[in-house]
Amino acid sequence: RDAEDVVVPTSGGRYDVHLKKRQRVAVYWEEEVSEVRRCTWFYKGDKDNKYIPYSESFSEELEEAYMVAVTLDEWKKKLESPSREVIILHNPKLMVHYHPVASSDDWGSTPTEQGRPRTVKRGVENISAEIPNGEPLQIDHLVFVVHGIGPACDIRFRSIVQCVNDFRSVSLSMLQAHFRKAQEQQQIGRVEFLPVNWHSALHSTGVDVDLERITLPSINRLRHFINDTILDVFFYNSSTYCQTIVDTVASEMNRLYQLFLRRNPLFKGGVSIAGHSLGSLILFDLLTNQKADPEEGEHSGEAARATTGSRGIEGVKEILKELELCEYCDVFEKEKMDRQALFLCTEENLKEMGIPLGPRMKILHYISSKGETQ
């Protein structure tokens, strides 16, 4: 099994731990990969008295020194950690970790063993570590949470992921407080909350570059804060960017829902959506303009479907036909260009697609004239 990368779902299935790589990866959203350690040797922290694992490489050094000391019955072993701190193995029951304290010697002498030492432990025996029970495997309901303006979602400037974590923890605490017996008997499960992020998708369209070009250098922080937050309201009042936001929210919920079903094939619960601030308006518009597809029946397997405006390449073909540019339909189809993408096109984009100058001017004039009226 050592040659395989065993993947273990953790935190209610929202993260995957790759055992071979020792990495913890978020499943539903983008997040920096975090390190996972196979714990053998620990030291007690200074602030909260919790035991903290050493790195795996240094744990191997400690284990090797420990085994030599046990085998030869030679103790008082001294090792230096990667951060140049000193660990001394006095005997099997007394192992300590000293902070490095700079000496007053101007000749750069090594750190002296001063200060209160930390306790070092081998293994997890007699360590009063509080290991959480984890979340119930059964999920009865799924809630998508859509954020409002800006990348931060509360006065502490936390992300949508962090804020949704609070929803989940409060929900779990309420279940444990009021329905503990039903949970233990597996009569009820839990509510899963998943964040829907549209801000990063909007600001990755190149709009930030345009904003930067016209942002004055005075009161720099305030102007950039407004660019990241308040301007989202104006973007939503723009026909082009409003459609981008609505499409992003709909497609992101559908992506999350399909991924959730693949990872939870036994899920038969309901789905709800919750929006904060501008997020509630986005959801209202999305639901108001949603139309049922008669070919797919009542349960289509999608959380939401955006139907505002013309969809797909057919809408673009109609525009090209109106402009008498039907010969370029194949080019736009090859680039998977729908109506929304067309209205985001610049002259440089059309040039990269190989569209000649004359047709480019026609298309750009159409975009500028129609974009104001839609």
Whole-Å CA distances, 347 to 74, 141, 172, 214, 272: 77, 47, 52, 19, 41
Listed range (43-52, 95-104, 264-273, 329-338) with the worst mean pLDDT: 95-104
Q: Which residues are catalytic?
A: 277
**Least reliable range by pLDDT among 81-85, 89-93, 113-117, 185-189:** 113-117
pLDDT band at residue 216 using 50, 70 and 90 as cut-offs: confident
- How far is residue 303's CA from residue 270's CA, in Å, rounded to a whole number? 10
Tell me if residue 190 falls in helix, strand or coil: strand
pLDDT band, residue 111 (cuts 50/70/90): very low
Is the pTM higher than 0.75? The answer reads: no
- What rounded mean pLDDT belongs to the chain? 80
Share of the chain above pLDDT 90, in %: 24
Residue ranges per structural domain of the chain: 1-39, 41-122, 139-288, 312-373
Q: Tell me if residue 26 falls in helix, strand or coil.
A: strand
- The pLDDT-based confidence of 315 (bands split at 50, 70, 90) is confident
pLDDT in tens, 4-13: 789 999 999 9
DSSP-H helix ranges across the chain: 56-72, 160-178, 180-184, 199-203, 207-214, 220-228, 231-236, 239-263, 278-288, 312-322, 329-334, 339-342, 347-352, 357-373
Lowest mean pLDDT among 58-72, 97-111, 215-229, 292-306: 292-306
- Secondary structure percentages of the chain, helix, strand, coil, to 5: 40, 20, 40
CATH superfamily of 312-373: Transcription Factor, Ets-1 (1.10.150.50)
Q: Is the pLDDT of residue 106 over 60?
A: no
| CB atoms near residue 359 (< 10 Å) | 17
Q: Return the closest-CA partner of residue 119 out of 92, 91, 85, 94.
A: 94
Cα separation, 203 vs 206, whole angstroms: 6
User: Is residue 349 within 8 Å of 329, Cβ to Cβ?
Assistant: no
Per the model's pLDDT, the better-predicted residue between 209 and 36 turns out to be 36
More confident call, 372 vs 261: 261
pLDDT value for 273: 95
> In this structure, are residues 276 and 147 in contact, taking their beta carbons and an 8 Å threshold?
yes
Residues 116, 231: Cα–Cα separation, whole Å: 53
Region of 283 (left: φ > 0; alpha: ψ -120 to 50; beta: rest) is alpha
**Confidence band, pLDDT 50/70/90 cuts, at residue 317:** confident
Can you give the pLDDT at residue 309?
39
**Given this model, what pLDDT does residue 54 score?**
85
Distance CA 364, CA 373 (A): 15
**pLDDT tens, position by position, 157-202:** 788 999 999 999 999 889 888 888 887 777 788 999 999 999 887 7
Backbone φ and ψ of 312, nearest 5°:
75, -175
Mean pLDDT, residues 145-168: 86
**CA 8 – CA 18 distance, rounded (Å):** 7
| Residue linked to tokens 């949508």 | 160
Nearest Cα to Cα of residue 345 among 360, 356, 333, 334:
360
Residue among 38, 41, 59, 37 nearest 51 (CA):
41
Q: Inform me whether the pLDDT recorded for 287 exceeds 80.
A: yes
Task: State mean pLDDT over 282-307.
Answer: 63
pLDDT at 151 over 80: no
Assess whether pLDDT exceeds 60 at residue 338: yes
- CA atoms of 332 and 350, how far apart (whole Å): 10
